[in-house]
Amino acid sequence: MLDIDKHGGRDGELTVHHYGWALSGAAIVETMSGGMHAHFKANGRTLKRLCGLNSPLPSIDLLADGGWCALPTPGSPYRFVNGADLSTCSELPDEIASRWAPLSKRERELRGDCDRLAVTAEGGRRTLLNELAFKYGLAVIAGKVQEHHWRDWLTIAAVHCGLPAEESAKTIDDAWHDAQEKAQPAAKTTKTAQTDLSSDFEAVAPWPLPVNGDTLAQELCAAIRTHVVLDEARLVGVAFWIIGTYFVPVATHAPRLAITSPRMRCGKTTLLRVIGELVPRPVNGENLSPAVLYRLAELVQPVFLLDEVDQQLAPSAQDRSALLSIINSGHERSGRVWRMSGEGAAMVPVGYRVFASMALAGIGRFGSDALRDRCITIPLERRLPGEETQRFDYEHRDRLHEVRSKLQRFADDSMNVVMHAAAIIPATLNDRQQDNWRLALRIAEVIGGAWPDRARQAAVLLSTHADKDGDDDDLGVMLLGDCHAIYGATEAKPDDWVKTGVLVNLLMKIEEHGWDDAQHPLTDRKLARLLKPFGIRSADHDFSPGSRTGRDIRKGYQWRQFADVWRRYLRVPP
């Protein structure tokens, strides 16, 4: 049966029209959403259910072995509309049966990007079509995508979003020419590398039956909690990050999961191992080189699980800069790193796509501020005597792999729904935090029940913890906070001024922040240097209005300068 959708930004009738198929011999059932079910006889063919981004036909789900649908019954809203029924419908035409085949990983990604193009607003359509045609033209040359899928799906998506057919065809042809020019020297090497890696990254076999999202999320949380002590927010954060690794084909961002602890033996490696048994295409490593990272990301788009990154990203580490560049760039779908390829005068710059999920484990605060900004941070502590867990051994893999299989089935069935789902994102999250949590919150909305609220609470709590952890070591932000405290304690007004020397003395009385350090005390000049990046500067001011003893011109700060900065960096009213 062909489930031809016509809702939520999908229009399967465009696909039928593109291929020129006649469905007159099918038993047609109208659906409540405006689409149709086209029933055919299989005539002995063994066909598998292919839905969502697994379907080779845009906006059409192929239901066969392992699928189900509602049939017309008395009183139901479904009805046969073309005079045929299941007993009189024709056999499945060969031209449709020939398309009924599983897709590769890269072809599923192309399907997802074409669905994105189909709903792109006017103004960015032609540019996105050109980018996708070039990007996946290279994948065709590398043997990762069939050419007829590439051309057909892009054409259908272009028609769907309103681009003229002749103009779209020219854009696709031009991109194909550009892709051939760029990839011809490296096509053979890339195809060989892909073939060699295929046995190391086998696709996860989906669970044979449909999976309830609520039950699956509970089962996943229970599997994690069996081996690691986590509170509610951290447990939900880890669980939805894991689910999100299955929805990378429709994601715009891949947040890094930062697993941290103050000391050893807090469960970081255990949690990383558990995650490795639950995600698709895991790559475990404690010392992966930058070259391995960007080449694997380009060829396989795995889930990287990197342990002891506090050592790899230490200031003195040899590859620190290159690793940070790859890790940070891979946070966004458009992320690339550029390297020179070839020899001598034939060398050309090559961009490697590094968009991939990544979990990082290490002691303390590792990396850079830019990296931490791209992370969902999960701080761990050592277990208390009463907190019981099971030691993780490889004998637990079968149970975790069952959950993994269910996650794959849930993703296969829900990919399109998640792609078009809207998430309610807490207003307290900054722009980067919203990017980090958007996919997880969309998945939670699709699962429903209490999960949207639980996911939002986890997002707020974990983001707040990350803010505090990051700002404690930032002298500038810490100084702003202390100045705000002094402003309130002295009951000052925005137009009031404070002498530089007075402000320095008041700050030095806040002992826990070390402004009175004997070897490096706060001075007028150091105060000015710390405030300068925020646009706050001292000025000459007469501090003796109305005095009969003459003017008292001193350097000082007007509190009004701090108001906007406090709102931006402390998120508190002035």
The reported pLDDT for the residue numbered 474 is: 65
pTM: 0.61
Question: Residues 54, 412: contact at Cβ < 8 Å?
Answer: yes
The reported pLDDT for the residue numbered 9 is: 62
The reported pLDDT for the residue numbered 275 is: 96
pLDDT in tens, 481-524: 899 999 999 999 999 999 999 999 999 998 777 788 777 789 99
Q: What is the CA radius of gyration of the chain?
A: 29
Residue with tokens 């009213």: 573
Report CA torsion sign: 553, 556, 560, 564: positive
pLDDT in tens, 178-236: 887 776 554 445 545 554 565 567 788 899 999 999 999 999 999 999 999 999 999 99
- Per the model's pLDDT, the better-predicted residue between 15 and 75 turns out to be 15
The reported pLDDT for the residue numbered 502 is: 94
pLDDT at 472 over 50: no
Lowest mean pLDDT among 24-28, 319-323, 372-376, 458-462: 24-28
Overall average pLDDT of the 231-258 stretch: 95
pLDDT at 112 over 50: yes
Taking the alpha carbons at both ends of the chain, their separation in whole angstroms is: 63
The reported pLDDT for the residue numbered 188 is: 47
Contacts of 96 (CB under 8 A, 6+ apart): 2, 21, 40
Helix (H) or strand (E) holding 378: strand 375-379
**How many other CB atoms sit within 10 Å of the CB of residue 479?**
20
pLDDT at 547 over 70: no
pLDDT in tens, 123-147: 778 888 888 888 888 888 877 888 8
Overall average pLDDT of the 60-70 stretch: 75
Rounded percentage of the chain residues whose pLDDT exceeds 70: 93
SS (H, E, C) 37-99: EEECECCCCCCECECHHHCCCCCEEECCECCCCCCCCCCCCCEECCCCCCCCCCECCHHHHCC
pLDDT at 278 over 80: yes
pLDDT in tens, 359-392: 999 988 888 888 989 999 999 988 888 888 888 8
Question: Residues 462, 433: contact at Cβ < 8 Å?
Answer: no
The reported pLDDT for the residue numbered 263 is: 81
pLDDT at 469 over 70: no
Rounded CA-CA distance 364/570 in Å is: 23
The reported pLDDT for the residue numbered 115 is: 81
> Which of 327, 305, 326, 324 is CA-nearest to residue 315?
324
The reported pLDDT for the residue numbered 187 is: 45
pLDDT in tens, 325-345: 999 999 999 899 988 877 777
Question: Residues 207, 409: contact at Cβ < 8 Å?
Answer: yes
The reported pLDDT for the residue numbered 473 is: 43
> Which of 87, 83, 111, 138 is CA-nearest to residue 10?
111
Rounded CA-CA distance 304/358 in Å is: 5
Overall average pLDDT of the 254-282 stretch: 92
The reported pLDDT for the residue numbered 35 is: 82
pLDDT at 67 over 70: no
Per the prediction, the chain carries an average pLDDT of 85
pLDDT in tens, 152-186: 889 888 888 888 888 888 888 888 888 877 765 54
Which tokens go with 417?
């729904």
**How many other CB atoms sit within 10 Å of the CB of residue 484?**
20
Q: Report long-range pairs for 213-219 (Cβ below 8 Å, ≥24 apart).
A: 213/410, 213/414, 213/446, 213/447, 213/448, 213/451, 214/447, 214/448, 214/449, 214/451, 216/403, 216/406, 216/407, 216/410, 216/447, 217/243, 217/447, 217/451, 219/403, 219/406
